[in-house]
Amino acid sequence: MVQVDAIKAFDDNYIWVIKDPTHSTCWVVDPGDEKPVLDYLSQHNLTLEGILVTHHHWDHTDGIAPLLSCFPDLTVYGPKNGKYQGITQPLVEHDSIVLAGITLNVIATPGHTLDHICYVNNEIAFTGDTLFNAGCGRLFEGTPEHMWHSFSKLLTLPDTCQVYCTHEYTLANLTFAQAVEPNNHAIAHYHQQAQALRKANRRTVPTTIGQQKAINPFARAAQPDILSHTPKQFIQAKDTPEARFAALRKWKDNF
């Protein structure tokens, strides 16, 4: 079983470390800052083999060039045709990669950015800024339709699949989730758990696909009554999962 560890970066980013238990090597996902990665490697006596990139934003990529100057042979996986120029192994949907003894499949998940990809298998998913615990990334480049379609792909993963997203936005997301569904006991219950975790300075990530189906309003846009507490000005004429997702995203942007 692969081991995944977290390196904290900036205010609320996690740089995920995929450790090969049989070797003293590891991979990192979205290193926006090289310093905490280099500290982690020396503390744990690990060699960096490569990097996985989900999308081009600076807080996911700025550490790559400095890491390459320390480890010139690094493999840098990332989206083909993205805006970040430092990818050595460009990937598209349906590609798969093998690292640290596991296979990860690439799915295209446009929405937050157009180049966004996720790395998934039935046990783990690295979802970058697409699927957050109880939320979703802002739509900087894509449309609500893009993001709903991307979410739908992630929601086909097994309920037990562990979801590793990049940001610790969970408490703010849960405040919004409770506004969307004030009578959803799963959200209220999990909000209390997450508050206790954060108070103890512990992570709320990873989560699971099953949990997201229960508490994440954006993952629940297929529920016909999901907008029953949404202010009218955000609701669209159509009543489809995409339109409900769009309404929720617009409300969250103004929440």
Known binding positions for Zn(2+): 55, 57, 59-60, 112, 129, 167
In whole angstroms, what is the distance from residue 154 CA to residue 107 CA? 9
Q: For residues 55-114, which are near Zn ion according to CB under 5 A?
A: 57
Q: How far is the CB of 169 from Zn ion (least distance, A)?
A: 12
CB of 167 to Zn ion, least distance (A): 9
Q: Does 129 bind Zn ion (CB under 5 A)?
A: yes
The residue type found at 78 is: G
Instruction: Point out which span in 32-40, 53-61, 76-84, 148-156 binds Zn ion (CB under 5 A).
Output: 53-61
Least distance between Zn ion and beta carbon 129 (Å) = 4
Taking the least distance from each CB to Zn ion, the nearer of 19 and 167 is 167
Q: Which stretch binds Zn ion (CB under 5 A): 2-10, 38-46, 124-132, 247-255?
A: 124-132
Q: Of 28, 5, 50, nearest to 206 (Cα)?
A: 5
Nearer residue to Zn ion within complex by CB, 57 or 252:
57
Between 19 and 57, whose beta carbon lies closer to Zn ion?
Answer: 57
For residues 62 and 33, is the Cβ–Cβ distance under 8 A? yes
Assess 252 for contact with Zn ion (CB under 5 A). no
The answer to the question of residue 115 lying near Zn ion (CB under 5 A) is: no
Give the interface segment with Zn ion, choosing from 73-81, 125-133, 182-190, 197-205 (CB under 5 A). 125-133
Which positions ≥6 away from 46 have C-beta within 8 Å?
A: 17, 19, 24, 25, 26, 40
Nearer to Zn ion, 159 or 253 (CB): 253
Query: Of 137 and 206, which has the nearer Cβ to Zn ion?
Result: 137
**Which tokens in the block code for residue 177?**
């989730």
Contact 205, 12 (CB under 8 A): no
Binding-site sequence positions: 55, 57, 59-60, 112, 129, 167
Interacting residues with Zn ion between 170 and 209 (CB under 5 A): none
Closest CA to 59 of 40, 32, 23: 32
Binding site for Zn ion (CB under 5 A): 57, 129
